[in-house]
Structure 1
Amino acid sequence: MRDQDRLPTSPGFWRSPLRGPWFTSVLGLVLLVGVTVLFVTGLVSYAAYNPGLSRVNDTTPDKGLLGFYLFAWPTGPVWLYRLTQGVHVTLGITLIPVLLAKLWSVVPRLFTLPPARSVAHALERISLLLLVGGGLFEFTTGVLNIQLAYVFPGSFYPLHFYGAWVFFSAFVAHAALKTPTALRTVRRRLRGEPEEVPEESGTPGPGTLVAPRPDRPTVSRRGALGLVGGGSLLLFLTTVGQSLGGPLRRTALLAPHGTADPNGGPNGFQINKTAAYAGITEADTHEDAWRLVVTGRTGTVRLSRAQLLELPLHSASLPIACVEGWSTADQWWRGVRLRDLAALVGHDGDPPDVLVESLQRHGAFRRAALRANQVADPRTLLALYVNGEELSPDHGHPARVIVPAAPGVLNTKWVARLTFGAL
């Protein structure tokens, strides 16, 4: 190696024969589709929290114009959030090998000198730094959140939300500049035309990814793409079971909630936080002490669990799906319809929004707001039973809310108070 090739700023420093326009273009086109789907499903996931309804649901209160797209989240189909968030998380994990391979393939360009040859080139380099930094940040924070590793210097939600906008803005700018070149490069390969080889000087351009003096290859570029695809397939198979359920749930090795509760039984399905974590004690939920406080147009009523059981009970088969991407199979819930509880305090006909408050002392979403359409849905219950048995303490005994198609954190456990029409 010549002396000038000992620095990463020299084209001769990068010797891998795998790098080239075609290899980079294929990876870029895969990310073009995958990252776009990730961004859209991420925005949809945020809308599912109904952040425009109440401040207690708004995890990014200073979003301003970034919330322009928010809409009232529907209650059907019941698997809607399970699908959108499952796709978001599973696809994000699956794309990790593609992202890393793409970054590896273009790393010589990060060391190109001079750093900026013009104003336009400087803007392109800045967008590239935002793209690389934003991509690594989004994928890293997403993986940590899936693993329940709360190590962020702040809340995951605003960090991931704002980071997504920075990353995707840089991604769109980069895609606008590079997609035509990538498509042209792939078409050249399909037509059997040779790949462009750069000059020794490494003049910036689409061909500079090809090493001027490459080492002897140990694997072909197609083989390298196969390795990347195989890595993505392995991550897919060890993640997707947390969303699909069934036999694949046993393969969800990378998902903390991939398998059922080892205790089994009717309450033997996934949970996010236990009663102990939430600070719930037996004294809080004992039948002699616990009362549900329901407030509305005509005043307030206090109901014991025995009194709730005297009201008309209804059943619904609904899953639980959470932001970490995991979801349960459909569970058979039984309890009192929220719209019937609204009627007890003067909201006959079309019930209003409701603020739900929990007994929990620790953790986020001690309070959550539900929209009127969610309250009115006959499948929205204050559940007292699941799969034929009373709720266990970890599943929200003595009563919890269950809402079709809503994120898991809006299915409040250990419910203490319902306030209708207060939002």
Structure 2
Amino acid sequence: MDDSERPARPADGPRAEDGSPAPAPRARPPALRGPFRPGFWRSPLRGPWLTSVLGAVLLPGIVVLFLTGLLSYAAYNPGLPGNDTTPDKGLLGVWLFPWPTEPYWLYRFTQGVHVTLGVALVPVLLAKVWSVAPRLFTWPPARSLTHALDRVSLLFLVGGGLFVFATGILNIQLEYLFPGSFYRLHFYGAWVFMAAFTVHAAVRLPRVVRVLRGRPARTAEEDASLTALAAPDPEPATLSRRGALAVVGGGSLLLAATTAGQSAGGPLRATAVLAPRGREPGTGPNGFQINKTAAAAGISAADTGPDWRLTVRGGTRDLVLSRAELLALPQREAELPIACVEGWSTPDLRWSGVRLADLAALAGAVDDGGGPAGAPGVFVESAQRGGAFRSASLSAGQVRDPRALLALRVGGAGLSADHGYPARIIVPANPGVHNTKWVTRLTFGGGR
């Protein structure tokens, strides 16, 4: 007989008792190792309550940090020429209001809060990341589209938070280890982090409230998510969860106490052990902190020697003035601090020099027919040839403030080279980097 008439042979392989093919064995899941193995996480401290408490602390803290960060951005007058060169910022380049000159200590306060709070929240942030670490290593990476989106949002949340805090702390310590501009990196990093944080807070806040109130989970999925925070096989406890919170809180208070003095000043300055050190040039009127020396800025003796001149432009005539001619003009005084983005500030120092509004009037740079009271904004240029903030724009409101000076002296003494000799800008509530040093040119009408 031919092949078509032969009985079919049973397929090779295991058979059931009745002779039928046995079902294929179920594939064994891959062996999970390291942090992907559930038994890897054994701390008895992890759990929904600890994670919820840490989240409840971070929520208002991050909101205050973001708002003070927006205030810091506004203080740079980003709408004026040259003050903000962040590419493609679009709608992200929003500022809250035109930056005022009253109260004169405004930037010292807002940036001091921003930096001190940011440093104090580091232990809380690290503890929160530690408390949810098991969820970052769950396997499989995505069980559904919703689960995949949740994992991606956690990546942006944790990664963005660590990036923003790390760049901020490095900047506070004047350690510019990151590639590119801190200003741009921190700007974009903050927006990415806040977008992820806003979504995360909106989704998780009801759950946090239920946990802190001792109420049960609403769904089986939520219950499974909360259960996953706790170790399935915990080690014996050596510290209670409240004890862990006390350790974290104590670390935050210690960091705040050793940071706040750099902006509060006075006797508390000595307690600011985390403030950048070694930048005070000495005692006397010029013995206050600086970020950049004249040598570091590339300022030579020829730049500030007897041939130095100030050019004033933008009105009906151009002026070229020597330092002696500036000293011969009416001298005004103002007691103002210098406050920098790193969170440090000086005490109120006694500055003397020529009012910016008076220089505008001398050059005929007035609007509204109002003399100095109608002075426009100004674009300030420095002898510094390169680097960030070698120039800055000041608003008309800043120029018109009677305490806004082209300063020639501080504390009754001439400016030192490191503090901007022959002349520098000093304006109430102005970020330190916009109090330009080694000024060579003022162009009125260059700032709106």
TM-score interval, smaller chain = over 0.9
Where do 1:352-367 residues align within 5 Å?
A: 352-367=376-391
Q: Name the residue aligned to 1:16.
A: 43
Deviations 1:236-266 (A, max 9, x none): 1221111111122112111115x88251101
Q: Which amino acid aligns with 1:317?
A: E
Partner of 2:269: 249
1:71 Cα deviation after fit: 2.9
Q: Residue 36 of structure 1: CA displacement?
A: 1.0
Superposition RMSD on alpha carbons, in Å? 2.0
* Separation of aligned partners in 1, 2:212 and 2:223: 22
Q: Report the residue type matching 1:218 in the other structure.
A: T
Separation in structure 2 between the aligned mates of residue 213 and residue 53 of structure 1, nearest angstrom: 60
Separation in structure 2 between the aligned mates of residue 373 and residue 6 of structure 1, nearest angstrom: 63
Are residue 350 (structure 1) and residue 374 (structure 2) matched? yes
**Residue 238 (structure 1) aligns with:** 258
SS at match of 1:334: strand
Query: Between the two proteins, what is the percent identity of the paired residues?
Result: 67
Aligned to 1:386: 410
Structure 2 residue aligned with 1:338: 356
* Aligned-partner residue type, residue 209 of structure 1: L
The reply on whether 1:108 has 2:127 as its aligned counterpart is no
- Report the 3-state secondary structure (helix = DSSP H, G, I; strand = E; otherwise coil) of the residue aligned with 1:204: helix
d(CA) in 1 for partners of 2:223, 2:109: 47
Of the three residues 317, 322, 333, the one matched with 1:315 is: 333
Q: Does 1:140 align with 2:163?
A: no
What code does the residue aligned with 2:246 have?
A: G
Unaligned runs of 5+ residues in structure 1 are none
Q: C-alpha separation between the residues in 2 aligned to 1:32 and 1:131?
A: 13
Q: Distance in 2 between matches of 1:323 and 1:62?
A: 23
Aligned to 2:183: 157
Asked whether 1:285 is paired with 2:311, we answer no
Amino acid at match of 1:380: A
Query: What is the alpha-carbon distance in structure 2 between the residues aligned to residue 4 and residue 307 of structure 1?
Result: 82
Please give the per-residue CA displacement for 1:267-325, whole angstroms capped at 9, x wherever unaligned: 11111111111122222222x31111111221201111111112111111101111111
Deviations 1:28-86 (A, max 9, x none): 111111111111111111111111111x2114132111123453111111111111111
Q: Give, in whole Å, the separation in 1 of the partners of 2:395 and 2:270.
A: 36
8 Å CA contact retained: 1:5, 1:13: no
Q: CA deviation at 1:140?
A: 0.7
**Alignment partner, residue 274 of structure 1:** 293
Counterparts of 1:397-416 in structure 2, within 5 Å, are 397-416=421-440
Range with bigger deviation, 373-382 or 209-218: 209-218
Secondary structure (helix, strand or coil) at the match of 2:295 reads: helix
2:241 maps to what in 1?
221
Query: What amino acid maps onto 2:298 in structure 1?
Result: G
Distance, in Å, in 1 between the alignment partners of 2:281 and 2:416 is: 14
Listed one character per residue, the Cα deviations across residues 321-356 of structure 1 (whole Å, up to 9, x for unaligned) are 111111111101011100000001112241111011
Higher-Rg structure is 2
For 1:265, the aligned partner's letter is G
Equivalent residues of 1:5, 1:12 under 8 A apart: no
Question: TM-score w.r.t. structure 2 length?
Answer: 0.88
Question: Secondary structure at the residue paired with 2:374?
Answer: coil
Paired with 2:40 and 2:446, the residues of 1 have a C-alpha distance of 66
The reply on whether 1:372 has 2:372 as its aligned counterpart is no
Cα contact 1:59–1:157 (8 A) shared by 2: no
**How far apart are the structure 2 equivalents of 1:4 and 1:28?**
33
The structure 1 residue matched to 2:72, chosen from 37, 45, 62, is: 45
Are the equivalent residues in 2 in contact too, given 1:94–1:236 (CA < 8 A)? yes
Q: Which residue of 2 aligns with 1:57?
A: 83
Give 1:115 shift: 1.9
Q: How far, CA to CA, are the matches of 1:290 and 1:174 in structure 2?
A: 56
- SS of the residue corresponding to residue 430 of structure 2 reads coil
Residue 71 of structure 1, aligned match among 97, 103, 106 = 97
Q: Any idea what SS the aligned residue of 1:8 has? A: helix
Contact 2:332/2:353, CA 8 A, preserved across alignment = yes
How many Å separate the matches in 2 of 1:149 and 1:163?
18
User: Is 1:187 aligned to 2:213, yes or no?
Assistant: yes
For 2:430 and 2:72, how far apart are their aligned partners in 1? 10
C-alpha offsets along residues 180-232 of structure 1, whole Å, 9 cap, x if unaligned? 111111122xxxx8x99xx9xx9832122121221101111011111111111
SS of 1:130's equivalent?
helix
CA contact (8 A) 2:131 2:229 kept: yes
1:116 aligned counterpart, secondary structure: coil
Instruction: Name whichever of 25-34 and 232-241 sits farther off.
Output: 232-241
Distance 2:31 2:233 in 1: 13
